[in-house]
């Protein structure tokens, strides 16, 4: 359906379109032993999430939901309440109907449950641990290799062999990549005990990677420029909205400046080395 939506004008409308499944690239997190062992399968890595579930904000939500359902609060858990909230949100987003489950929650309750989900995404896919984002450098470098090739072909006056490249993954693919690039990073980490201080946080996973989240790099060849450096310029769009680059605070950058800003990741982030499990016997949290 996605390919059909791009239209036959892009030669992507037929079933003959070549599609390559490359899980090592688009599901890099599954192939990163350090991430799998120390975050994905390590219960201790989610200690902030677990602490918030037991904290005063979630306790207040549980008590209100239990009262509305005429149940003892002991029969409810944070996970069950979250399922009810997600059921409400899914039906609203997908069917545009207000589920009966929505009546259990106030706007403040929704903010608490949003923070619970953001905590999980932060510690599992975002800035919580370096390996979350560092494991995505294989995809980041792949993007720039395609851009490099287009620049090289353009400079040689050759036709651009791949004018459009579409990589399809999940929110779990995109969130670490955005963290690697430094977007939506708060001065203070998201923790179980700073909900109030994080009310105006940048890291809101529901806005960063909503349904059908997408990140687009657009490379421009500019003829009428003063210097050769300005000949190739780039824009980034997240969910169809222009992003401001960190190094310039502008929504457009020369390709040379962008590569220079991310030089360390492009040259020094090696997937195999990043994802190797440590040889010494240390605890996961110490290593992370």
Dump pLDDT digits (tens) for 126-155: 999 999 999 999 999 999 999 999 999 999
pLDDT digits (tens, 9 = 90+) for 52-80: 999 999 999 999 999 999 999 999 999 99
**What HEC string does 9-34 produce?**
HHCCCCCCCCCCCCHHHHCHHHHCHH
Mean pLDDT throughout 24-53? 97
pLDDT tops 70 at residue 87: yes
**To the nearest whole percent, how much of the chain has pLDDT over 70?**
93
pLDDT tops 60 at residue 286: no
**What's the Cα-to-Cα distance from 29 to each of 4, 35, 209, 238, rounded to whole Å?**
29, 7, 17, 21
Q: For the domain covering 24-275, report its CATH number.
A: 3.40.50.1240
pLDDT in the model for residue 285? 54
Mean pLDDT throughout 251-263? 98
pLDDT in the model for residue 5? 76
**To the nearest whole percent, how much of the chain has pLDDT over 90?**
88
For residues 6 and 287, the model is more confident at 6
User: How would you class 158 by CB atoms within 10 Å of its CB: exposed for 0-12, middle for 13-18, buried for 19 or more?
Assistant: exposed
Question: 156, 132, 165, 136: which is closest to 40 by C-alpha?
Answer: 132
pLDDT tier, 287 (very low <50, low <70, confident <90, very high otherwise): low
For residues 7 and 149, the model is more confident at 149
**Assessment of whether the complete model's pTM goes beyond 0.85:** yes
Could you please report the per-residue DSSP string of the chain? Answer: -HHHHH-GGGT-SSTT------HHHHTGGGG-HHHIIIIIT-GGGGHHHHHHHTSHHHHHHHHHHHHHTT--GGG--HHHHHHHHHHHHHIIIII----GGGGG--HHHHHHHHHHHHHHHHHHTSTTSHHHHHTTHHHHHHHHHHHHHHHHHHHTT---S-S-------HHHHHHHHHHTTTT--SS---TT-TTTTTT-S--HHHHS-TT--EEEEEEE-SS-SSGGGGEEEEEEETTEE---TTTSSS-EEHHHHHHHTHHHHHH--HHHHHSPPSS---HHHH-
pLDDT tops 80 at residue 262: yes
**What's the Cα-to-Cα distance from 129 to each of 40, 54, 169, rounded to whole Å?**
11, 22, 21
pLDDT in the model for residue 13? 46
**What's the Cα-to-Cα distance from 252 to each of 183, 184, 229, rounded to whole Å?**
16, 18, 13
pLDDT tops 90 at residue 49: yes
Measured CA angle at 23 (ends 19, 29), to 5 deg? 150
Mean pLDDT, the chain, as a whole number?
93
Backbone angles phi, psi at 87, to 5 degrees: -60, -45
Distance from C-alpha of 162 to C-alpha of 182, rounded to nearest angstrom: 28
Distance from C-alpha of 135 to C-alpha of 38, rounded to nearest angstrom: 13
pLDDT in the model for residue 9? 55
Mean pLDDT throughout 263-273? 97
């Amino acid at each position: 359906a996605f390919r059909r939506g791009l239209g036959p004008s892009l030669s992507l409308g037929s079933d003959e379109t070549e599609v390559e499944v490359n899980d090592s690239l688009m599901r890099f997190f599954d192939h990163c032993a350090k991430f799998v062992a120390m975050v994905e399968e390590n219960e201790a890595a989610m200690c902030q999430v677990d602490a918030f579930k037991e904290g005063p904000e979630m306790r207040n939500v549980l008590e209100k939901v239990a009262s509305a359902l005429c149940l003892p609060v002991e029969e409810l858990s944070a996970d069950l309440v979250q399922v009810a909230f997600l059921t409400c949100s899914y039906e609203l987003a997908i069917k545009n109907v207000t589920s009966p489950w929505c009546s259990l929650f106030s706007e403040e309750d929704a903010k608490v449950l949003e923070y619970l989900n953001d905590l999980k995404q932060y510690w599992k896919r975002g800035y919580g641990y370096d390996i979350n984002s560092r494991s995505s450098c294989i995809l980041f470098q792949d993007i720039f290799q395609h851009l490099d090739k287009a620049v090289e072909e353009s400079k040689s006056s050759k036709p651009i062999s791949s004018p459009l490249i579409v990589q399809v993954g999940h929110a779990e693919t995109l969130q670490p990549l955005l963290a690697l690039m430094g977007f939506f990073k708060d001065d203070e980490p998201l923790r179980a005990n700073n909900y109030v201080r994080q009310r105006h946080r940048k890291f809101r996973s529901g806005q960063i990677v909503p349904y059908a989240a997408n990140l687009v790099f657009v490379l421009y060849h500019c003829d009428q420029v003063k210097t050769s450096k300005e000949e190739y310029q780039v824009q980034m769009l997240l969910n169809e909205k222009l992003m401001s680059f960190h190094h310039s605070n502008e929504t457009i950058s020369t390709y040379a400046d962008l590569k220079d800003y991310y030089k360390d990741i492009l040259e020094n982030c090696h997937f195999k080395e990043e994802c190797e499990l440590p040889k010494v016997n240390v605890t996961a949290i110490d290593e992370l």
